[in-house]
Amino acid sequence: MKYLYTTLLLFISIGSFAQDAATIIHKNDSLNIVYAGTTIFSGNIETGKNGYVLRQQTQVVKGCTWQIITIRTENLKPFRLDGHITGSDEAIACESDPAESPLKVVRQMVGRSHSLLNNAVYERRHDWLLSVDNYYSRVKVTPVKDNDYDIDVTGWEIVVRFRPRYYREHRGLSRFDPSSYEVWKKPVVGWCSWFAYMDQVNEKEIKETADVISAKLKPFGLQYLQIDDGYEQLPIGLPDTWLHANNKFPAGLKGLASYISSRGLTPGIWTNVTFADSAAAYANKSLFVQDEQGRPALGNWIGYVMDGSNPETIQKLIKPVYKGLNDDGYDYFKLDAIRHLKYEGYNSFKNYFEQKGTDRNEAYRNVAKEVRTEAGRDKFLLACWGIRPELVGIADGCRIGNDGFSYAGLAQFNSYNNIIWRNDPDHIVLSAKEAYRSCTATSLTGSLFMLTDKAEKYHNSPLVEAARRTIPVLYTQPGQVYDVDPSRSALIDGADVEMSGSGPRPFDASSNTITGLFELELNKPFEHWVVLGRLDDRDKVIPFKDLGLDAKKEYLVFEFWSKKFRGSFKSQFTPGSIDTAFNCQAFCIREQLQHPQLLATNRHISCGGLEIRDMKWQDNALQGQSELVANDKYIIYLYEGAVYTPDKVTVKGASLFADEKNGPVRKITLLSKNGGVVDWTVQYAKK
């Protein structure tokens, strides 16, 4: 009778408070959670002979549905909840809430996470989060077959939380409809002309840059060349001012796109949503928002405000531009001044839309939707600049902060990256101070990676190595569905009331943040390991448990940029001072095994995560298969220890350039004239 009453109470609560809640079924010692017709959790409560109390509530708080289950033994003895979570191919294991730890680490992952910090599963396709509090309980989430996860919980009190419509309601992104779109999963690595040449850019400089980056960076993974401000006719106005370039570009936009493509690169182009041609605006008044005097509305930074609620505006001013640029061969679109259209345009003239009886945010989305339609879903669309919650589901990427690269936003909106869109920290300048820091943070977070130096930098400067070793970016997903620095995303509702975009708003990414630690967890069929980027020296000791590693195990630590083996550690390690040649560190951390093993490779900051196709220890031999860049020395760093001695190194598909030994570390250098897949084997004998 006790269990019948409990189940009935659950159904009553759900019907009274929330329409999008799950059905929770507790019968005997089983616990099941059913959502949208699917059993997403099935588990057993194992208390032995101890009795227990299960309570639950369903409540809507500020528009967010919460379902909480608490289970506690009557004598406060530890017990176990053994469960299974079922999700789609978009389900990820993650941390649901910040831990009480002094070490703040932004976590991204490649593959299905094995981190010991995980206490939850987020299912993107249906936007739900199922978590177990890990304050008084030990929680372990383990990937199993397909896209499912086992969850094992022990403690004297266990608290289960289900949050439906997590990003849509709990995170305030009301436009988030994950069933309507997929995030962009391919690498986005390129070059942008803006900081290199500003609006003085010309055709000759674009072609010279295409030649250089095609030779120097394309083999390493750079794909896009994006022309920024400076090609269009002035004043910006009717579609012809975008489609027919000024006299600095005599071959025209189509000819230039063809040249870029001929160098094996993908052409990209900048546009914005301003309209500065006064004569054209007054000659076409019906296409624009009207001010209180019935004139075309005028706003700072945006000019005359195009009316997205008018289908004729979309057809005459928006559609021709992006259809034409698409036809010309452009496959990457940077849509700028989009914040000004919202703030100085639609927010500032909200009375106009109210009098028309139209939703100004839908009018705003109409502009971006048409760009999306004409560009095509297979073309990358970047919204620029500042956080744009209204454009969720339309833009593939979003410039999250002000002009100029800042890694702070990667910690302030880390939970958005590759769940909502691809985060853009802005263009990377390969300066002596910032090159390695910017490249490290961008690559380890799987963010949008765009360089912006003059062509000669890639010809002559050794700083180009910072870019070569961090591209392409891997497709990552967040290890946390909260923001490590929540100071900005917590204020996102302010986007609907701002009327000036002349500088950063309180919810835009800042230039400083609470952490300089960025961790990439790599999960491959052959191994699991992490790379930790350290961009400043504020954290003096790194506990392994704060990286989601087992504090009881031994780990090998190798610093990627300086190529120094730091040693074998248990529980924690001290990162030491940062080399001023790089102004950052990137530690590859692998569990120590009982035989020779890979420490790292020099190809990519992921330390083998990019190019190693397979690797195994078999018959006293370490065997690997790697994809090499032509004429680029490929270095394999091995930890050998004292038990085994090397016998022979064999290579197929490349030449063995060098084989060196320094203490417990062996350094093997391969070279391939043509690049491609190479098989390598290091045979050992036991001492």
Pairing of strands 597-601, 266-272: unpaired
Under a CB-based contact definition with an 8 Å cutoff, are residues 174 and 391 in contact?
no
Q: In sequence order, which residues have a C-beta less than 8 Å from that of residue 327 and are 6 or more positions away?
A: 254
Gap between the Cα atoms of 508 and 242, Å rounded: 29
pLDDT at 19: 62
Q: Examine domains 516-592 and 606-687 and report if their fold is the same.
A: yes
Gap between the Cα atoms of 189 and 404, Å rounded: 17
Q: Which of 12, 450, 405 lies closest to 222 in space, CA to CA? A: 450
pLDDT at 9: 37
DSSP H helical ranges for 344-474: 350-356, 360-375, 409-412, 435-444, 455-460, 464-468
Gap between the Cα atoms of 370 and 438, Å rounded: 33
Gap between the Cα atoms of 209 and 534, Å rounded: 32
Q: How many CB atoms lie within 10 A of CB 90?
A: 17
CATH 3.20.20.70 fits 187-495, yes or no: yes
Q: Helix 252-262 vs helix 203-216: angle between axes, to the nearest 10 degrees?
A: 20
Residue 242, φ and ψ in degrees, nearest 5: -90, -35
Q: In sequence order, which residues have a C-beta less than 8 Å from that of residue 102 and are 6 or more positions away?
A: none
For 49, what's the count of Cα atoms within 13 Å in the CB-facing half-sphere?
0
Under a CB-based contact definition with an 8 Å cutoff, are residues 528 and 93 in contact?
no
Q: How many CB atoms lie within 10 A of CB 61?
A: 10
Gap between the Cα atoms of 448 and 454, Å rounded: 19
pLDDT at 18: 55
pLDDT at 13: 38
Gap between the Cα atoms of 653 and 56, Å rounded: 62
Q: If you write DSSP's letter for every residue of 204-227 in order, what string do you get?
A: HHHHHHHHHHHHHTGGGT--EEEE
Under a CB-based contact definition with an 8 Å cutoff, are residues 647 and 630 in contact?
no
pLDDT at 100: 84
Interior angle at CA 473, CA 471 and CA 478, nearest 5: 155
Q: Which residues pair with 334 in a beta bridge?
A: 270, 382
pLDDT at 146: 83
pLDDT at 646: 86
Which residue numbers in the chain have pLDDT < 70?
Answer: 1-19
pTM: 0.95
- Topology of domain 606-687 in CATH is Immunoglobulin-like (2.60.40)
Between the alpha carbon of residue 184 and those of residues 390, 412, 413, 417, 448, the distances in Å are 18, 20, 17, 10, 11
pLDDT at 136: 87
Task: Please state which of the four CATH numbers 2.60.40, 1.20.1070, 1.10.10, 2.20.28 is assigned to the domain occupying 516-592.
Answer: 2.60.40
Question: For the chain, which residues make up each domain, given as ranges?
Answer: 2-96+115-167, 187-495, 516-592, 606-687
Q: Which of 116, 117, 113 lies closest to 92 in space, CA to CA? A: 113
